[in-house]
Amino acid sequence: MYLRSIKLKTNKATVCGLIAVITLFLLTACATTGGGGSGLSLLEAIEEAADKIAEDLSGKSRVAVVAFESHSDNLSDYIMEELIGALFDRKIEVADRQNLDYVFKELNLQMSGDVSDENAVSIGKFLAAEMVITGQLRDLGSTYRLMTTAVRVETATRASVPRLSVRRDRAMAQMIAALSKQQTTVRTAKYGVSADATPQTAGTFLDRGIMFASRGDYEMAIADFDEAIRIDPNMSAAYILRGRALFASVSMVTNVGANFSGVDVISTGGEITAEQGRVYDRAIADFTTAIRLDPNYAHTYLERGGAYTDKGDFDRAIADYNQAIGLDPNLDVAYCNRGNAYYNKNDYDRAIADYTSAIRLDPNYATAYRNRGNAYYFKKDYDRAIADYEAALRINPNNAEAKLGLKNARQARGR
């Protein structure tokens, strides 16, 4: 089973190939003889699922379609795009799927495997979506089963979406075979934003701002988040993302840390200019507004804690990480980042305890091993430091700081 991860590169040949696949499917769906089975066609099932999702939404709604499992990436991509199109036809705004790589990375989530309801809520809050949709197409032998999950973000509950039987006929077989032959998974921007087209809603300004932020164009991203906030002053996601963009723009210049969200290097507490300090304060103000609008979102405390850490205000950072952990005790990056704050206060024992908690939650957390190695190094416990640097390098052989730490710890032990 594959969960569709987002591919942004496309070319004329793959687009033409997809057009041929869809054309073949439509032709065979109309002219199929022999091979049957009960149930709906795949497109009929997608339309019915879209109808049910639309029934559970009120007014001008915004949703995010984030993952779909099937036996191939191309089939998953096709189903997701058709579902998005069906929702657009029902006047439902769908968060731009081109941004999902960025969102998953920034939330420190994996683009493979099931998306839990808890993660779906976190994704939905980050994208200002009312509902987050995932699904599966399962091969049951005599038929297929289309199962769609829709999680309401505000209440963290599931909407009722039916499980639908899909015919296992010649048209379906030919479509799957044709899709399987595609060499490159196709991702078009048919329903997404672009740099050239002016967004019309707060949600689409948010989407384009995320697109710019993912490219490192923070000035353009901030301008779009400004517009999203102007249209909808209560959109907490826009404040979070504008704060992140402000924070990132300073961190790129100062190199003092960038502790926000999934990026969890140790801050050096480096000198910042008065202007840079003002930008940090603006970012902190945005995170504070987002917390006022939604006090139960752990990632916002994580973001503000990172800004406080890089400003050198470690006590406030620790308080925010405490809040994040209280809301989500399984948020491994919060332990790692709180460990960084303790590390910067020279409280190595508490830092080590937090890095150990992060590793317990994620045994493949290379950064936590590396940072714990640093703490052991400064405690002159070189054997443990070496073991942690080696563990970090087994997970990520290109970790330059772990390589340097390992070299220094071995030299120090040899004295």
- Helix boundaries (H) for 146-232: 170-180, 202-214, 218-231
Is it the case that residue 328 has pLDDT exceeding 60? yes
Q: Collapse the DSSP code of 65 into the 3-class scheme (helix H, G, I; strand E, B; otherwise coil) and give the result.
A: strand
Q: Among 3-12, 277-286, 333-342, name the one with the lowest average pLDDT.
A: 3-12
* pLDDT confidence of residue 198: 87
Q: What is the mean pLDDT of the chain?
A: 83
Q: Average pLDDT of 34-43?
A: 69
Write the pLDDT tens digit of every residue in 178-213.
887 776 554 555 677 777 788 889 999 999 999 999
Q: Average pLDDT of 294-316?
A: 94
- Angle at alpha carbon of residue 78, lines to 1 and 152, rounded to 5°: 75
| 115-124, 165-174, 272-281, 301-310, range with greatest mean pLDDT | 301-310
Q: Among 35-49, 323-337, 355-369, name the one with the lowest average pLDDT.
A: 35-49
Q: Provide the pLDDT confidence category of residue 47 given band limits of 50, 70 and 90.
A: very high
Write the pLDDT tens digit of every residue in 139-159.
888 888 999 988 999 888 888
Q: Average pLDDT of 98-107?
A: 86
Is it the case that residue 14 has pLDDT exceeding 50? no
* pLDDT confidence of residue 187: 52
The letter for the amino acid at 235 is M
Query: Integer distance in angstroms from the first to the last C-alpha of the chain?
Result: 53
Percentage of the chain beyond pLDDT 90 is 50
Which has the closest alpha carbon to 97: 217, 185, 198, 28? 185
The letter for the amino acid at 407 is K
Alpha-carbon Rg of the chain, whole angstroms? Answer: 24
* pLDDT confidence of residue 283: 94
Please tell me the number of Cα atoms within 13 Å of 102 on its side-chain side. Answer: 21
Write the pLDDT tens digit of every residue in 235-269.
999 999 999 999 888 765 544 444 434 444 454 44
Percentage of the chain beyond pLDDT 70 is 82
Is it the case that residue 12 has pLDDT exceeding 60? no
Q: Average pLDDT of 272-286?
A: 88
Q: What is the pTM of this model?
A: 0.80
Greater confidence (273 vs 269) lies with: 273
User: In sequence order, what are the residues at sequence separation of 6 or more whose Cβ sits closer than 8 angstroms to the Cβ of residue 42?
Assistant: 79, 137, 144, 146, 166, 172, 175
Q: Average pLDDT of 277-303?
A: 94
Q: Tell me if 228 sits within 8 A of 214, measured CB to CB.
A: no
CATH numbers and ranges of domains, the chain = 2-180 (3.40.50.10610), 202-414 (1.25.40.10)
